[in-house]
Amino acid sequence: MDRRRAHDRPGAPAALATALALTALLAACATTAPATSPAAPAAASSADPARSADDDAARVDAPTVRVASLKGPTTMGLVGLMDDDAHGRAAQDYELTMHGTPDEVVPLVVQGAVDVALVPANLASVLHHRTLTDDGPQVQVAAVTTLGTFEVVEHGGTVDDLADLAGRTVYSSGKGASPEYVLDHLLRGAGLEPGVDVTVEYRSEHTEVAALVASRPGAIGVLPQPFATAAIAQSPALRTAVRLADVWEAVEGTPMVTGVVVVRTAFAHEHPDALSTFLADLQASTALTNADPATAAVLVADAGILGSVAVAEAAIPVSGITYLDGAEMRSALDAYLRVLAAADPASVGGSVPDELYVDP
């Protein structure tokens, strides 16, 4: 199960209009939508067209794989499989549900109501610790699905790297959570001490940061995808100045992981073939999304992940949608969790786990 990376990231109007557009985008990314797959036919499929009668017979004895995901980039890479499942093309039976927040997914994993979940990377570590028993781990990581998508967005043209933020004020969201810890780590790597050499002012919502930066010439903000793409589309005076994922990779030597696949350890041991098939299907679906954003964008919009095909097509190439497993997954995720643990051990459940990864 040592598969290669499925994708490598490439390398104003009135503030009210920006705020309204981004509020609509936030609603699309954060509203709970428990079920399921886009119903419109796809122009392409991630499924294997050469399925034999023996394969179909094997499905009778195979379990239905219950998968929970979150609205946003993690499910944007899953839409090909969702469409295949909706139209009977998937290699095995799935129950695919999409949710608005991690808080909705956590009890499903803990209570065994799902077998697999696509969750934030640090939450995987927290879940691992929370469910650990004397018998060993109950929840482990099987793959990486998304890489860091935070970008420094400027209303102007004075910032080309993090060192240019010296003496400036930067607006961001995510105080006391992963976005703050990552930003502080990268600023220090650039020789800037947060609160001393650069001021970071936190807001509660990405939409608030976007509206603020759009309304103030010279303002600088940190926004994740797809919010950065939507903000720039609404306000041509905005530009991406620095991709934090690029800075991370230069500093750490590994991709910055933000989303992963977790699996119940019992399911992985009892149904290794079903897990392997799901991971292969996920990898193929991810490849389809990245190779054909125009087709995938229709599925993304139909699934309600983003509000328009145009925004989805623009966001896909910069949303860090990927597939990593094996040694590359382990080195990248370990590096990310170590940075978070150094900033706040509670953000990873107390420490970086020793048995975080499911055996291939």
Q: What are the chain's domains?
A: 15-147+255-348 (3.40.190.10), 151-252 (3.40.190.10)
The reported pLDDT for the residue numbered 360 is 65
Rounded Cα distance, 205 and 220, in Å: 15
The reported pLDDT for the residue numbered 311 is 87
Phi and psi of 250, rounded to 5°?
A: -70, -35
Please tell me whether the overall predicted TM-score, pTM, comes out greater than 0.85 for this model: no
Please give the full DSSP string across 196-222, using - where no structure is assigned: TTBEEEEES-HHHHHHHHHHSTT-EEE
Residue 14 or 116, more confident: 116
Tens-place pLDDT, residues 23-34 = 434 443 443 344
Q: Is the bond preceding 236 in cis, omega lying within 30 degrees of 0?
A: no
pLDDT at residue 342 greater than cutoff 70: yes
The reported pLDDT for the residue numbered 22 is 42
Q: Which two tokens stand for residue 345?
A: 């051990």
Phi and psi of 166, rounded to 5°?
A: -55, 130
Burial of 120 (0-12, 13-18, 19+ CB in 10 A): buried
pLDDT at residue 124 greater than cutoff 70: yes
Mean pLDDT of all residues in 15-43: 41
Q: Which residues, including other chains, have CB under 8 Å from residue 34's CB and lie 6 or more apart?
A: 97, 98, 99
Q: Any idea which of 105-119, 303-317, 330-344 has the lowest mean pLDDT?
A: 303-317
Instruction: Provide Rg for the chain, Cα atoms.
Output: 20
| Confidence band, pLDDT 50/70/90 cuts, at residue 323 | very high
